[in-house]
Amino acid sequence: MRYGGMKELKTKQVFEFDPTEIILKDITIRILQKDEQKIAEELFESEHYLGAIPPIGKTLIQVVEYKGRWVALLEWGPAVLKLADRDAWIGWSDVQRAERLGLLVQNRRFLVLSQTRMPNLASRALGLGVKALPRHWQSIHGYCPLLAETFTDIEQFEGTCYKASGWEPCGLTKGFSRHRIDYYQHHGRPKKLWMKSLNRNARRILQAIDLPLAYQKGANKQSPERALPLKKVQMETLRDCLRNKVKDPRASNRSYPASSLLTLIAMGLLAGRKTLAAIQRYGQFLTHEQRVWLDWPTKKNSRLRCAPSYKTLYNLLGKIDPHQFAHALSQWLQTHEGTLPRCLAIDGKYVRDRVLTICLSDHENGAPIAIGIADEKPRTEDNKKDGELTVARKLYKKTNLENALISADALYCNQNDARTIVEKGGDYLFQLKDERRKAHQHACELSRGTPLLNTPV
């Protein structure tokens, strides 16, 4: 073992005691201090079969002690970007995973020091580490994680200490490791995946439409989700539709085909991005293969494909006919959607940060199902323009609402729209405020009883 000038500190903290005198109830755990980082790295390197690992992203190292002497180390870090078995176990969508991955942490290293090993020490240390993890992580990073994950080598270990500590086995990996930012290398050694809930409602929170305020700091609303919301064939049909039905208004500077840029904007909307800036950032994180599909230009003397800038997207949207774009996109969505989601919401979004669009969107991920454009200026007798409510009514009429539940805020609450939704085979859930006094008063009177269960006496 190599400890250099830290030999005296290492000896004081780690060794020179009889491990048989350990009493498990006297074991404590704390966060590793910065001046102890070098000691922990050397112990991982010399005693862990995988060696030390460089810190990446948000990390935390816990020290398990007995009477001030180290007996075990636990290192925590970011969770894996994508795991089929884990994601199925949690039950979240791709967009939710991209936004909420920071609420998961991975046990990257667990080391029981060689001269302090004894029966039940590993499971006891692991149990203490998991129990203290939420408050330790919050003290450093400002929020509590919800789930922990780890892996064991099935060729060398049974994972007994994880099982004894209440971790749940959730399948095997496919035998790949991350080699670069967008490339995975096959090593042929699948690992067993273990999951541990740090909150009894962890999976319910991760699946929820909105995160509780206490966990929002751990979410990334602008997460660079690399998975496309469309398959390659669907994306090609979308490009063809936009190419044929939306005219390119630009006279020059056509490095990017208009259909390619509009396809990126459409995919950003389908991935839940709500502003043009978020859509542009989404495009920056597409892989080389995905950029080839979109026919983006290459850099000079390079094979790399350039992502479009915010100005490029902004200028295009400033020149095209937004009604034409919305009509083409809605037509494509209706053709390829098949069946609508069970729950839809009607609301306004800004595609270009200043042009208001009215969208029927999926509750789960915010992806639009049908789109219309509302004019910025109010409607007048001489200049008839479609306002927000008028566009919403047109969407109801041209969209298949069979077995769909439409929810909306108080702006959209009116009898005619409710009647249209019911006639189209759907149901509605509208917010009602006291601006509509008679209807609000009537609803308040009904709410005093149990209107859904009332039966005549």
**410 neighbors 430 (Cβ within 8 angstroms):** yes
Distance, in Å, from the CA atom of 260 to the CA atom of 33, rounded to the nearest integer, reads 51
β-strand 368-373 against 191-197: which pairing, if any? unpaired
Q: Give the model's pLDDT for residue 329.
A: 81
Angle CA 263–364–84, to nearest 5: 85
Q: In sequence order, which residues have a C-beta less than 8 Å from that of residue 314 and are 6 or more positions away?
A: 276, 352
383 vs 63, which has greater pLDDT? 63
Q: In sequence order, which residues have a C-beta less than 8 Å from that of residue 289 and are 6 or more positions away?
A: none
Nearest to 63 by CA among 15, 110, 114: 110
Burial class (CB in 10 A: 0-12, 13-18, 19+), 35: exposed
439 vs 297, which has greater pLDDT? 297
Name the CA dihedral angle for 166, 29, 56, 80, rounded to a multiple of 10 degrees. 10
Architecture of domain 4-218: 3-Layer(aba) Sandwich (3.40)
Q: Give the model's pLDDT for residue 368.
A: 61
Specify the amino acid at residue 348. Answer: G
Beta strand spans in 227-355 (E): 343-350
User: At residue 264, what are phi and psi to the nearest 5 degrees?
Assistant: -60, -45
Confidence of residue 444 (pLDDT cuts 50, 70, 90): confident
Report CA-CA distances (Å) from 62 to 29, 40, 102, 370.
7, 10, 19, 50
Distance, in Å, from the CA atom of 196 to the CA atom of 216, rounded to the nearest integer, reads 21
Task: Give the residue carrying structure tokens 């046990």.
Answer: 107
SS (H, E, C) 46-68: HHCCCCCCCCCCCCEEEEEEECC
Helix, strand, coil percentages, rounded to 5, for the chain: 40, 20, 40
Report residue 231 as tokens: 């398959």
**R_g (Cα) of the chain, nearest Å:** 28
The structure's pTM equals 0.54
Confidence of residue 456 (pLDDT cuts 50, 70, 90): very low
SS3 372: strand
Give the number of other Cβ atoms within 10 Å of residue 123's Cβ: 17
Distance, in Å, from the CA atom of 288 to the CA atom of 232, rounded to the nearest integer, reads 14
Per-residue pLDDT averaged across 149-174, rounded?
85
Beta strand spans in 46-131 (E): 60-66, 69-78, 104-112
Q: Give the model's pLDDT for residue 374.
A: 65
The yes-or-no answer to whether 4-218 and 338-457 have a common fold is no
- Among 54-63, 273-282, 361-370, 398-407, name the most confident range: 54-63
Confidence check: pLDDT of 383 > 50: no
14 vs 264, which has greater pLDDT? 264
Confidence check: pLDDT of 205 > 90: yes
Q: In sequence order, which residues have a C-beta less than 8 Å from that of residue 278 and are 6 or more positions away?
A: 222, 268
User: At residue 342, what are phi and psi to the nearest 5 degrees?
Assistant: -70, -30
Class of the domain covering 338-457: alpha beta
Our measurement of the distance from residue 268's CA atom to the centroid of its chain's CA atoms, rounded to an integer in Å, reads 14
Confidence check: pLDDT of 402 > 80: no
Distance, in Å, from the CA atom of 141 to the CA atom of 269, rounded to the nearest integer, reads 31
Confidence check: pLDDT of 105 > 80: yes
194 vs 422, which has greater pLDDT? 194
Rounded mean pLDDT of the chain?
77
Confidence check: pLDDT of 60 > 90: yes
Q: Give the model's pLDDT for residue 382.
A: 46
User: At residue 137, what are phi and psi to the nearest 5 degrees?
Assistant: -65, -40
Per-residue pLDDT averaged across 358-379, rounded?
58
Strand partners, 151: 193
Domain ranges in the chain are 4-218, 224-320, 338-457
Confidence check: pLDDT of 14 > 50: no
